Amino acid sequence: MKLKIRNWVALLCSMWMSFAVSVLEGVGPIPDPLEVFGHDDKNDVIGTKWAILVAGSYGYGNYRHQADICHAYQVLKNGGLKDENIIVFMYDDIAHNPLNPNRGIIINKPNGTDVYKGVPKDYTGDATTAQNFYAVISGNRSAVSGGSGKVVHSGPNDTIFIFYADHGTVGYVSMPVGEDVFAIDFVAVLKKKHATKSYKKMVIYLEACESGSMFEGLLPKDINIYVTTASNKYKDSYAFYCPGLYPSPPVEYTVCLGDLYSISWLEDSDKNDRTKETLQQQYETVRRRTLVSNINVSSPVMQYGDTKLGNDFLATYIGATPNLYENTFSFEPSTTQTTLISQRDANLLHLWLELEKAPKGSEEKLKAQRKLDDEIAQREHVDNVFNLIGDFLFGEKKNSMMFHVRPYGQPLVDDWDCFKTLIKTYESQCGTLSSYGRKYTRVFASMCNVGISREQLKVASMQACLNKNHAS
């Protein structure tokens, strides 16, 4: 085990590469709301701007997702949106976490200001469920369980903005509690919302690994919804402002403060005039910055749905910026960062740093060592399990069959019930998929697409998962 730990630590150390970016400090004040920039045509009726912000994870190691969401709230508030029209989902276990070096404060960039202040606590803890998320979008107050009860009571002239930050995986994103948000179910809710004629236009920004799989081949182009995602349906997305990289968090932090795609659009929104910048211009900026910073591991930002909405100004959805922030970190193409931390490896980095920080010989040191050992063992376990399942089900064709990629424009899978069933079948035998284990979710889609049955997977999983003590 000591040798294996050294190998994992060596991998982490190899990811620690410094790079140069321009640094400007400070944050401007949040100004009074403006109502004037509510449309992109002078003949349009000015509707209400609604927003839903969702952090799909929990735990201090996932600090960055709630930080992204809190920063998004400040962007919207600065743009003039009212709290009654901003609905926030976050587990809310970061700001006051014992591991947080600045208790009660969340930052989204090195030495940044507190983005947690003032954020509405609409759906926290046990109320952070997919069912509540769907009910909020639908405006169905009676379907909400717990939380503030706020829903999107939008009308035909209103706009809706949704920002979702999570680890993600092929075909779904997580909620902290209960069922996951599967692509087919999410898109069905959006289609139903359109059918009720209860919005004019909608914009969705999604931060997650393989996030394109949530929309590709599923989201119609004629329901007035424009989407950008952190990646396509094949690639990971990446954490940013991580310890050991430049710019790095203050030394007392053992977590990444944000995600590359998220902070790119957030900081772009902070510093530019949203009455003059379009969605398409922001997409190009975020795509360029993401690709430049991600030069060795390619995480292509994507567009889906009604891309004609890209001609709309940002102010139409997230409000105007009367007092521009002049102090955001620059991600201009001249930057040369060559290594990033995958969403799935950010928690491993956090655990290793907690071990390094703990006093030698202390109980804290022993606990940190056990957590890191467990994480490494769990990763090795799930790698071995899927390797065995591949042997049982596919034999020599394992590699080509297990990770088959469908052509561009096609959905991940045709039979989504099969996809869900196979995931549940696997988890019943091998334990709940962890954020790391979800890197193998594509395997279940491939099984459905080639006709592997529930019974076949159950037998293979039973044979592969001899030790159920490890979550997968």
Q: What is the pLDDT of residues 412-469, one digit of tens each?
A: 999 999 999 999 999 999 999 999 999 999 999 999 999 999 999 999 999 999 755 4
Residues 104 and 205 in one domain: yes
Q: pLDDT confidence of 401, banded at 50, 70, 90? A: confident
Which of 318, 347, 379 is the C-terminal boundary of a domain?
Answer: 318
Position 65 in a domain: yes
Confirm whether pTM is higher than 0.95: no
Establish whether 209 is a catalytic residue: yes
Q: Domain for residue 1, yes or no? A: no
Q: Is residue 117 included in any domain, yes or no?
A: yes
Residues 235, 102: one domain? yes
Mean pLDDT over 372-392 rounds to 94
281 and 216 in a common domain: yes
Does the bond joining 411 to the residue before it have cis omega, within 30 degrees of 0? no
Residue 337 lies in a domain: no
Q: Which one of 318, 343, 368 terminates a domain?
A: 318
Mean pLDDT of 250-257: 96
Q: Are residues 98 and 158 in the same domain?
A: yes
Domain boundaries, position 376: 358-464
Domain containing 158 — which CATH number? 3.40.50.1460
Give yes or no: residues 372 and 311 share one domain. no
Same domain, 310 and 415: no
Give domain status of residue 135, yes or no.
Answer: yes
Whether 302 and 203 map to the same domain: the answer is yes
Residues 152 and 39 in one domain: yes
Q: 164-208 pLDDT, tens per residue?
A: 999 999 999 999 999 999 999 999 999 999 999 999 999 999 999
Q: Out of 65, 167, 350, 470, which one is annotated catalytic? A: 167
CA–CA gap between residue 130 and residue 186 (Å, rounded): 9
For 336-352, the pLDDT digits (tens) are: 445 688 899 999 999 99
Tell me what pLDDT residue 114 has. 97
Q: Does residue 418 have an active-site annotation?
A: no
**Cα–Cα distance between 316 and 40 in angstroms, integer?**
6
Residues 306, 399, single domain; the answer is no
Asked if 86 and 219 sit in the same domain, the reply is: yes
| pLDDT mean across residues, the chain | 87
Q: What is the pLDDT of residue 234?
A: 87
User: What are the tens digits of pLDDT across the range 221-235?
Assistant: 999 999 999 999 988
| Active-site residue, from 209, 242, 256, 418 | 209
Report the number of distinct structural domains present in the chain. 2
CATH number of 452's domain: 1.10.132.130
Q: What is the mean pLDDT of residues 150-161?
A: 98
Sheet containing 49-55: order of strands: 86-89, 49-55, 159-165, 201-207, 225-229, 302-305
At 323 the pLDDT is: 59
List the one residue out of 335, 367, 379 whose CA is nearest residue 11. Answer: 379
| Same domain for 405 and 297 | no
The residues with which 305 forms a beta bridge, in sequence order, are 226
Domain shared by 383 and 241, yes or no: no
Percent of the chain surpassing pLDDT 90:
75
Q: Which H, E and C letters describe 100-132, residue by residue?
A: CCCCCCCCCCCCCCCCCCCCCCCECHHHCCHHH
> The dihedral of CA 426, 431, 432, 436: what is its sign?
negative
In the beta sheet, which residues pair with residue 88? 53
- The reported pLDDT for the residue numbered 289 is 86
Given 287, 318, 349, which residue is the final one in a domain? 318
- pLDDT, tens digit, 9 for 90 and up, residues 69-121: 999 999 999 999 999 999 999 999 999 999 999 999 999 999 999 999 999 99
CB 312 within 8 A of CB 279: yes
